[in-house]
Amino acid sequence: MADHKTSHAAPPRLTPGLVPNLRFDVPSGFLVFLIAMPLCLGIASASQYPPIAGIWTAVIGGVLTAFLSNSQVTIKGPAAGLIVIVSGAVLDLGLGAAPAGTDPADLATLARYGYPLALGIGVAAGVVQILFGVMRAAKVGEVIPLTPVHGMLAAIGITIMAKQFFVMFGLTAPAGAPIDSIHAVPTVFRTLDPTVSWIGGASLAIMIAFPLLKTRVALLRPVPAQVVVVAVAIPMGLALGLDGVLNDKGAAKFLVSVPNVVASPAAAFAFPDFTALATPTGIKYVVLFALVGSIESMLSSQAIDMIDPWQRKTDQNRDLLAVGVANALCSAVGALPMISEIVRSKANIDNGARTRYANLFHGLFLLAFILLLPFVVTLIPLAALGAMLVFTGFRLASPREFVSTYKVGAEQLVVFVTTIVVVLCTDLLIGVAAGVALKVVIHVLNGAPLSSFLRADVEVATTDDGSVVVLKVRKAALFANWLGLKASILKHAAGRTEVVLDLSETKLVDHSTMEKLHQLERDLAATGKRLKVIGLDTHTALSHHPLAARRSGRVDSPVAV
């Protein structure tokens, strides 16, 4: 395989521990706190949880997982990628628990009944994640093909954009499947609140323009765009009189509402109701919370490990255990579920963090803020939070994602778009299942034998001195048999400096395997070993991308499905 590594300057020497790294981790934790605070509030509101629930998630994620996980620079907290699942749980469970005749469009009533039931689901899902960690099940996540997962995340981004677009203009998104909100988007311009719209529009403009400005003005580079949005939106809201617009409960209709934790601690927490666990809807959401949350968290931490200047590796099973414990605790006190959040983690690295204590400090800064300055939070317009999430959703479903997927192969784009469409019209589980099923069909059409989906067919040979082992793979190397192939490579790499993987007799090597082989090459190289992949010169790539799927023999088109 081609070497796609990028050369980087060697990082400075790292002295482990809390005290030697305080001067790096405290400033980074503070800057990440500035990014996290408004996002935590916005994600909680979009998830039909009280806004303060997002703060508690980040506090628990920062303080607890810093000691339970060995992940060094990831930031734990609520994530936009879970909004669709969490809000779906609240509204679906609330519809079943609310009094007969409750209007399905009455989101406030559904949330009141569904919120404690969703907390019960969250506790159970946290226990499942703990079991995943104890049973060392993190490797199972590697079996899931990459393209349907990316399609799921893009569909989540589109859903967030559609629903938060309403909030940005002072409206409430319609209930129902994501496609219903997409259909209703044109009505926003007929029913929007003009006053709130100024704040939402200005906030979105800042989210788009400020990162571009930072590239030109060095002094602005440490300043998060989210902080600028809040700094502009609060005085705009006060000037436009949003604090005087009240709802039927006497609270500000268009501003964030959080209790004073010091004066009324009981109002800042909620406790789970487990009665929905025995229902089909409850079981469905336990599966979604545990599986999707675990997959997203593992993908994020793996991506962050790749850009860690010191190339430290997260123990995914230990990290799953840590996230599971934290999630069970979060739901026990009324907070959102958490994952390793990639955007905040990337900012953590960019701000100079060196150890996991930056995550701890980000959580402590959030705790201090909500204890000492809750009145500042209550001045933030909901439209500003909605604009931040519209921007976040766009990043999840960026046109760049479609282009990069197409470059890997036209068949990948078909799977990607199919997953998106099915998720938007049904739900996440059905959408991902549809994407995986389509991928299997495409692999069969490309010559993969059905038996290759069950196990990797690997023949082992060694050189006379035993220093090099050659693994000849037959039939196909696919996402479904990757664990067996990887286990064989690692088994024979022990005690040797080189493993040769011969793929000349495979009928198909899929994109997921190509990408995972490339990563395994890097991992083994970091330990002084070499994985040499041969035999692909007899195959035709399904696109010009270096990690595209390979099919044996010649085909009429380099992007044939």
Question: Where residue 140 falls among pLDDT bands split at 50, 70, 90?
Answer: confident
* pTM as predicted: 0.90
For residue 306, pLDDT over 90 is answered with: no
β-strands 498-509, 530-534 pairing: parallel
Q: What is the mean pLDDT of residues 400-429?
A: 95
Please check whether residue 549 is in contact with residue 514, taking contact to mean a CB–CB distance below 8 angstroms. Answer: yes
Helices 83-97/146-168 angle, 10° precision: 70
Locate 44 and state its tokens: 């909680």
Longest CA–CA separation in the chain, Å:
84
Lowest mean pLDDT, pick from 168-172, 202-206, 245-249: 245-249
Task: Report pLDDT digits (tens) over 334-377.
Answer: 999 999 999 999 999 999 999 999 999 999 999 999 999 999 99
Q: In angstroms, rounded to a whole number, what is the distance separating the alpha carbons of residues 540 and 507? A: 10
Q: In angstroms, rounded to a whole number, what is the distance separating the alpha carbons of residues 485 and 480? A: 10
Question: Where residue 4 falls among pLDDT bands split at 50, 70, 90?
Answer: very low
For residue 3, pLDDT over 60 is answered with: no
Task: Report pLDDT digits (tens) over 499-515.
Answer: 999 999 999 999 999 99
Locate 435 and state its tokens: 């994407």
Question: Where residue 554 falls among pLDDT bands split at 50, 70, 90?
Answer: low
The percentage of residues in the chain with a pLDDT greater than 70, rounded to a whole number, is 96
What is the per-residue burial (b if ≥16 Cβ within 10 Å, else e) of 466-485? eebbbbbbbbbbbbbbbeeb
* DSSP class of 262: T
Q: In angstroms, rounded to a whole number, what is the distance separating the alpha carbons of residues 446 and 412? A: 13
Main-chain phi, psi angles of 473, to 5 degrees: -100, 135
Backbone angle region of 17, left / alpha / beta, with phi > 0 → left and psi within -120 to 50 → alpha: left
Q: What is the mean pLDDT of residues 432-456?
A: 95
Question: Where residue 410 falls among pLDDT bands split at 50, 70, 90?
Answer: very high
Q: In angstroms, rounded to a whole number, what is the distance separating the alpha carbons of residues 320 and 68? A: 10
Task: Report pLDDT digits (tens) over 249-274.
Answer: 888 999 999 999 999 999 999 999 99
Please check whether residue 48 is in contact with residue 258, taking contact to mean a CB–CB distance below 8 angstroms. Answer: no
Residue 381: strand pairing partners = 255
Residue 237's closest CA among 380, 359, 348, 431? Answer: 380
Locate 151 and state its tokens: 């399609």
Task: Report pLDDT digits (tens) over 228-238.
Answer: 999 999 999 99
Per-residue pLDDT at 561:
37
Residue 75: strand pairing partners = 341
Average pLDDT taken over every residue of the chain: 93
Please check whether residue 338 is in contact with residue 289, taking contact to mean a CB–CB distance below 8 angstroms. Answer: no
Locate 396 and state its tokens: 């999840």
Task: Report pLDDT digits (tens) over 175-193.
Answer: 888 999 999 999 999 999 9
Per-residue pLDDT at 1:
54
Q: What DSSP string runs through 224-260?
A: -HHHHHHHHHHHHHHHTTGGG-B-TTSSBTTB-----
Helices (H) and strands (E) in the chain, counts: 20, 8
Amino acid at 62: G
Per-residue pLDDT at 497:
87
The torsion of the CA quartet 164, 170, 172, 177, rounded to 10 degrees, works out to -30
Question: Where residue 15 falls among pLDDT bands split at 50, 70, 90?
Answer: confident
Task: For residue 516, give the 3-state DSSP assignment.
Answer: helix
Lowest mean pLDDT, pick from 63-67, 100-104, 275-279, 360-364: 100-104
Per-residue pLDDT at 10:
66
Q: In angstroms, rounded to a whole number, what is the distance separating the alpha carbons of residues 502 and 521? A: 14
Locate 472 and state its tokens: 């000849």
For residue 333, pLDDT over 60 is answered with: yes
Q: What is the mean pLDDT of residues 141-163?
A: 93
Locate 377 and state its tokens: 């939070």
Instruction: Specify burial of residue 67 (Cβ count, 10 A radius: 0-12, 13-18, 19+).
Output: exposed
Helices 511-526/482-493 angle, 10° precision: 20
Question: Where residue 248 falls among pLDDT bands split at 50, 70, 90?
Answer: confident
Q: In angstroms, rounded to a whole number, what is the distance separating the alpha carbons of residues 458 and 489? A: 10
Per-residue pLDDT at 212:
93
Residue 331's closest CA among 132, 111, 124? Answer: 124
E-assigned strand segments in 138-201: none
Q: In angstroms, rounded to a whole number, what is the distance separating the alpha carbons of residues 318 and 374? A: 34
Per-residue pLDDT at 6:
41
Residue 51's closest CA among 376, 347, 427, 395? Answer: 376
For residue 119, pLDDT over 70 is answered with: yes
- Angle ∠(300,156,77) on CA atoms, nearest 5: 40
Task: Report pLDDT digits (tens) over 365-408.
Answer: 999 999 999 999 999 999 999 999 999 999 999 999 999 999 99
